[in-house]
Structure 1
Amino acid sequence: MKRAALYVIAGPVGIAAYGLVRLWGRSDGVYGPGLDWQAAHLVGLAGMVFFVPAVLALSRLLPRSPWRNGVVALTLVGLAATMVQFGADIVEGLLAADRAEMSALGADFKDIPGVEVVFYDVVPQLFFLGLVVLAGMLAARRRLPWWGVPLLLTGTLLPVVTLDLLPIGGLCMLVALAPALPALRRQGERVEPPVAVQ
């Protein structure tokens, strides 16, 4: 399997794995700080990192245009904000001795002007919005089936209801994007024609 296709798989799998490790960590009634908190957030951060090349690869299935570039830029900005959020959670988990101290550290970080809007409430949502719009553009070009768009939207909205639905959300995202894998593999197999020797 070509690397681009692997990234498209790894991103949603990272989200689903984050949800599963989180559920495991919460099963004893004590979640964070500790190994379970760090493991969940490291897996989630890895998923976000994999989404960067995945978004770029999916965008290359579309013709170049300012609209495509704008959607990709907004999606990557949202991803960057989400990565900062995960990074902050990891650092707070490392510094805190207990849940109360971790919550206090998180509150201190959010009290910095602009942090809550940029890294929590607004900008991270651009990743999910941009990914759904990108899927819609791919569906319009028949690179994805029409049902991939509502399924992807469902996958992004389920965690809003409750984070316990993260594993199902990640699975929905994976199934929605999987039909693009053959096109990504074919794209990776393309080679430039040899230059004729004069």
Structure 2
Amino acid sequence: MNLRFAFIAAPLLTFAYGVIRILDGLDCSRGPGLAWTTGHLAFMAALVLFVQIFWQLRAMAGRDTVSTVSAVAGTAGIATLLAQFGIDIVVGFMAADHDGMSVLFDQVQSVPGVSPIVYDGGPFLFYLAQLALVLQLAVMRRVKAWMPALVLLDLALPFADKDLIPLGALCLLISFVPLARRAPAPAVVAAA
């Protein structure tokens, strides 16, 4: 996979998720339906790209213990977010309306371990690892000092209001453009 593509596509897919989420909520109810499913699939695609991004950031940091722990934690966070968004999609398909989704979510989250791992704790590993890796690169002076600030803004805005996800994604895109330029180009296969 082209790492340059990943650094640009992941924030753009996150932006798409945020915009679709806003559009889905215009009727004062999110899900179920096409917008619910499409938005979730967009973010899941971004998460898959973030796996490559985390491991590339680890390589840029020198593959040391700190960057390795961050990349592993981030990948674990991605796994929990993929599980969460997968559950969301399944619930969206199973429910006839938003109230039906609430009942199904309550059933899923009542399963021991699901709520603390998939919804409460696990996803934070993704966000913390992302910030940790970029901070490490900034401390090592391998990225500009403003980059962690933009990544932190991207991570903080949705906690203030989830409708700010698109704005946060734009901050992430701005911070990732220089990383995309530095990422290794895809290998060219010579014709025989």
- TM-score, normalization: structure 1? 0.89
Do residues 141 (structure 1) and 134 (structure 2) align? no
Matches within 5 A, 1:1-198: 3-184=2-183, 187-188=184-185
| Counterpart contact for 1:143–1:183, Cα < 8 Å | no
Task: State the Cα distance separating 1:3 from its structure 2 match.
Answer: 0.8
| Counterpart contact for 1:143–1:179, Cα < 8 Å | no
Task: State the Cα distance separating 1:189 from its structure 2 match.
Answer: 6.9
Task: State the Cα distance separating 1:190 from its structure 2 match.
Answer: 8.7
Gaps of 5+ in 1: 192-198
- Equivalent pairs counted in the alignment come to 188
> 1:13-55 deviations in whole A, cap 9, x for unaligned?
1111100011111123332111111111111111111111111
Looking at structure 2, the residues matched to 135 and 65 of structure 1 have their Cα atoms a distance apart, in angstroms, of: 14
| Counterpart contact for 1:61–1:183, Cα < 8 Å | no
| Counterpart contact for 1:14–1:48, Cα < 8 Å | no
| Counterpart contact for 2:151–2:171, Cα < 8 Å | yes
More displaced stretch, 65-74 vs 88-97 = 65-74
Gaps of 5+ in 2: none
Looking at structure 1, the residues matched to 186 and 7 of structure 2 have their Cα atoms a distance apart, in angstroms, of: 17
Structure 1 residues 67 and 24 mapped into 2: Cα distance closer, same or farther (>3 Å)?
same
More displaced stretch, 174-183 vs 39-48 = 174-183
RMSD: 1.7
Amino acid at match of 1:24: L
Structure 1 residues 190 and 101 mapped into 2: Cα distance closer, same or farther (>3 Å)?
closer
Amino acid at match of 1:79: I
Looking at structure 1, the residues matched to 59 and 182 of structure 2 have their Cα atoms a distance apart, in angstroms, of: 10
| Counterpart contact for 2:3–2:186, Cα < 8 Å | no
> 1:94-115 deviations in whole A, cap 9, x for unaligned?
0111111111111111101111
Identify the residue that residue 196 of structure 1 maps to in structure 2: none
| Counterpart contact for 1:19–1:40, Cα < 8 Å | yes
Identify the residue that residue 194 of structure 1 maps to in structure 2: none
Amino acid at match of 1:87: G
Looking at structure 2, the residues matched to 145 and 96 of structure 1 have their Cα atoms a distance apart, in angstroms, of: 47
- TM-score, normalization: structure 2? 0.92
Larger Rg: 1
Amino acid at match of 2:109: K
| Counterpart contact for 1:77–1:123, Cα < 8 Å | yes
